[in-house]
Structure 1
Amino acid sequence: MNIAEEIERINRQITSKGYKLTRQREITLTVLLENEKEHLSAEEVFMRVKEKFPHIGLATVYRSLELLVQLRIVEKMNFGDGLARYDLRHEDHEHMHHHLICTSCGALEEIQDDWLSELEDRLKKEYGFQVTDHRLDFMGSFKACSTDNCKKQKTAVS
C-alpha cells in the first residue's frame, strides 16, 4: 500500500472515531510512514514535519502523536534509550510486531510473525482471559556486534 492509500485508510479510522485528519496530523502521519523503519522520537518527527510545514510547533506535533496513540493508530514505545519512539500499527496484523533490540549498538530488528498466538489461546482456555494486544521486545546483542559487521550500520535506532 502506498503512502496516499495508507493516509486514506487512517483518515477513515480517525473520522470513524469523531476526529478530523487536520493538515498537521496528515503531515505527522506522512513523516511516520516515510520513516517507518526508523522508530522516530517525537523530536525527530517534529524536525521532519517542520521541513514540510515550517510554521508547525512542537506542541502540535506532540498532541498529534498522542491522539494517534490514543486512537491506536500509532504505538508509543521505549527501547531503553530514554526516548519515547513511535511506531505505526498496521491493520493486516492483529497485534503489534515484536523487536530485537541490541544493547551493544542500539540496532533494532522487527519480527513481523506473531509467535504468541498459541499462548493467547492457552490464556483464553485456561484463564478465560481474552488478549486484545501484546508487545514483546527482546533485549540482547547481535552476533555481528562482536565483529566489525555491527548491525548498527544497517538498522540503528537513532
Structure 2
Amino acid sequence: MSNLSLEEIKKLKDDLKQRGYKLTPQRRAILDGLVKNEGKHLTVEEIYDDVKLECPEIGLATVYRTVLLLEEMGIIYRLDLEDGCARYELVHENENHRHHHLVCSNCGKVIEVEGDLLDTLEVNIESKYNFKIMDHSVKFFGLCDECQSEN
C-alpha cells in the first residue's frame, strides 16, 4: 500500500516523464519511505535501510541516484546539519521557503520550527539590497530540553 496519494503519484510520473525517467517500483518505494518517515531528516543510508525492508533487491547506488534526482526535481531538500551527514526531507507544497530547524549540539535531535520567522526580515533585505530572495535555510544550534535537564 502506497503512502502517496493518487494525485501525487500522477504528478510525479508526469514530472519524471518530462525528464525522461519512469516512476519505477524502486523510486516509488524510496518516495514512500520518505513520506512514511516525514520529519525524521534521514541520511541516504537510513533511507536505504528503510526501503530495503519493502524492496530487498534495491541497491544503495540506486537509492543515492534516486535521492539526487528527487533533490534536483525539488521534491526533497538536502539538509546540512554540520555533522558531516547530508540528510533529506520532503518539500512541503504550502511552504514558500524551507522551514527552520533547531539542532541539539549534544544529542543531535532535530526539531522543526513551524511557521516562517523571517518574513519581515526578508522584505527588509529585499528592499534595502534590491535582491530577490528565492529561498533561505536557518538552523539554530543549542541544547534540547532533555539535554538541558541532564546538565
TM-score (norm 2): 0.87
Whether contact under 8 Å (1:102, 1:139) holds in the other structure is: yes
* CA distance in 2: counterparts of 1:107 and 1:82, whole angstroms: 15
Name the residue aligned to 2:100.
98
Q: Does the residue aligned with 1:37 lie in a helix, a strand or coil?
A: coil
The amino acid that maps onto 2:82 is: G
1:41-95 Cα shifts (integer Å, max 9, x gaps): 1001001111111111100000000011111111111212221111111101111
Whether contact under 8 Å (2:100, 2:139) holds in the other structure is: yes
The amino acid that maps onto 2:12 is: N
| Residue 14 of structure 1 pairs with residue 10 of structure 2 | no
Cα displacement (A) at 1:106: 1.1
Question: Which aligned pairs between 1:6-85 and structure 2 lie closer than 5 A?
Answer: 7-8=8-9, 11=12, 14-15=15-16, 17-18=18-19, 19-85=21-87
Select the residue among 125, 128, 131 that pairs with 1:126.
128
Uncovered stretches (5+) of structure 2, i.e. residues with no partner? none
* CA distance in 2: counterparts of 1:133 and 1:9, whole angstroms: 27
Residues 122-131 or 27-36, more deviating: 122-131
* CA distance in 2: counterparts of 1:60 and 1:35, whole angstroms: 19
Name the residue aligned to 1:155.
none
Q: 1:146 to 1:47 in 2, by over 3 A?
A: same
TM-score (norm 1): 0.84
Compute the RMSD of aligned alpha carbons.
Answer: 2.2
Name the residue aligned to 1:3.
3
The amino acid that maps onto 1:144 is: E
Q: 1:110 to 1:29 in 2, by over 3 A?
A: same
The amino acid that maps onto 2:60 is: L
Q: Does the residue aligned with 1:4 lie in a helix, a strand or coil?
A: coil
Cα displacement (A) at 1:10: 5.2
Cα displacement (A) at 1:113: 0.7
Question: Which aligned pairs between 1:127-146 and structure 2 lie closer than 5 A?
Answer: 127-146=129-148
Whether contact under 8 Å (1:7, 1:30) holds in the other structure is: no
Name the residue aligned to 1:153.
none
The amino acid that maps onto 1:3 is: N
- Structure 1 moving runs of 4+ over 3 Å: none
* CA distance in 2: counterparts of 1:13 and 1:82, whole angstroms: 34
Uncovered stretches (5+) of structure 1, i.e. residues with no partner? 151-158
